[in-house]
Amino acid sequence: MPYIGIDLGGTKLAAAVFSAAGDVLHRETVALGDRAGAEVGSSIAERVTRLAAAHPVEGVGVCVPGLYRADRGTVWAPNIREWEDYPLRDELRSALGERVNLTIDSDRAAYVLGETWRGAAIGARDAIFLAVGTGIGAGILTAGQVVRGCGDVAGAIGWLALDRPYVPRYRRHGCFEDQASGPGLVRVARDLMDETTGYDGALARKTPDTLTAEDVFAAFGNGDRLAARVIDNAIELWGMAAANLVSLFNPEIIIFGGGVFGPASQLLERIRDEATRWAQPIAITQVRFAASALGGDAGLYGAGRLAMIGDGGT
């Protein structure tokens, strides 16, 4: 029987029907627009109900952009308004009834499950997906099981302490994310422009409200010295974070994905060189670094995998 995967993002909802072999039998995507609260939940429930009626399925997997509190069946999703403690499990169970297996998990868990199922880490049982986009997080698979922690917060590595002294703005999103996420690259660029007298490069032609990470990468590609300082700083932090993950978990592979690793995939060799300086010397020789093979579909494939395995193991 087929399976349904649902990938809920901050701006869109993607759904697919998968065969047991991982082939996509049907897929669709809808923008969330201004939907919030129960409107988002209803949209998921409607889509799941319709797809399950058209394709009788054995299981449904849903990944969410935040924390899934398994003990309560609720979701905290900071980029979706009114989803501080949203009762998603009860809503979907009411729509599906008891005949279909239902599994909900974080997008971090889905990313690593998708890549080990159909992506860059097929068959790996010790793998980490380092997601760098608007935020930074890690999906961690150890001995074939997703690491979640006592409160389902494991993998929130945007809060890794990689610099000092402490800066008050780290409280909002963590030290690592503050400097090396997509918005973090912009923050660092703005800080450097404020500190650099006479800079008149490409980034200076952007207003603070319109400067983006894409602009930083474009300027870097054109040899802009200030953009190079931003990217050099990020490479150091990405490498340090990878080194810490290697030393803690001794994975077979670290997959780099999310919106930033697109353009940053070209930097993997430099990131590995930086990680090698910091990591446990035996463990770093045992790990591969790779860019995501699934790109923006990693969460969707991971949700499909969740539907099959239920508890997040491989």
pLDDT tens track for 103-159? 999 999 999 999 999 999 999 999 999 999 989 999 999 999 999 999 889 999 999
What is the end-to-end Cα distance of the chain in Å, rounded? 19
The reported pLDDT for the residue numbered 231 is 98
- Per DSSP, the three-state class of 263 is helix
Supply 133's token pair. 């986009």
Asked whether the predicted pLDDT for residue 176 surpasses 90, the reply is yes
Asked whether the predicted pLDDT for residue 312 surpasses 60, the reply is no
Tell me the pLDDT tens digit for each residue of 269-297.
999 999 999 999 999 999 999 999 999 99
The reported pLDDT for the residue numbered 208 is 83
Average per-residue pLDDT for the chain: 94
Average pLDDT of span 244-267: 95
Helix and strand numbers (H, E) in the chain are 11, 12
Average pLDDT of span 258-264: 91
Q: Which CATH superfamily is domain 3-114+297-309 in?
A: ATPase, nucleotide binding domain (3.30.420.40)
Average pLDDT of span 29-37: 93
In 170-251, alpha helices (H) = 170-173, 175-180, 182-195, 213-221, 225-249
CATH number for the domain running over 122-292: 3.30.420.40
Average pLDDT of span 207-213: 91
Q: Are 141 and 155 in contact (CB under 8 A)?
A: no
Q: Are 43 and 91 in contact (CB under 8 A)?
A: no
Supply 282's token pair. 């035996």
Closest by alpha carbon to 298, among 161, 121, 179, 142?
Answer: 121
The reported pLDDT for the residue numbered 314 is 57
Q: Are 8 and 40 in contact (CB under 8 A)?
A: yes
Half-sphere exposure of 223 (CA within 13 A, CB side): 0
Q: Which residues of 137-171 are buried (b: 16+ CB within 10 A; e: fewer)?
A: bbbbbeeeebbbeeebebbbbbbbebbeeeeeebe
Return residue ranges of the chain for CATH 3.30.420.40. Answer: 3-114+297-309, 122-292
Coarse DSSP helix, strand, coil percentages of the chain, rounded to the nearest 5 percent: 45, 20, 35
Q: Assign 187 a pLDDT band (cuts: 50, 70, 90).
A: very high
Asked whether the predicted pLDDT for residue 234 surpasses 60, the reply is yes
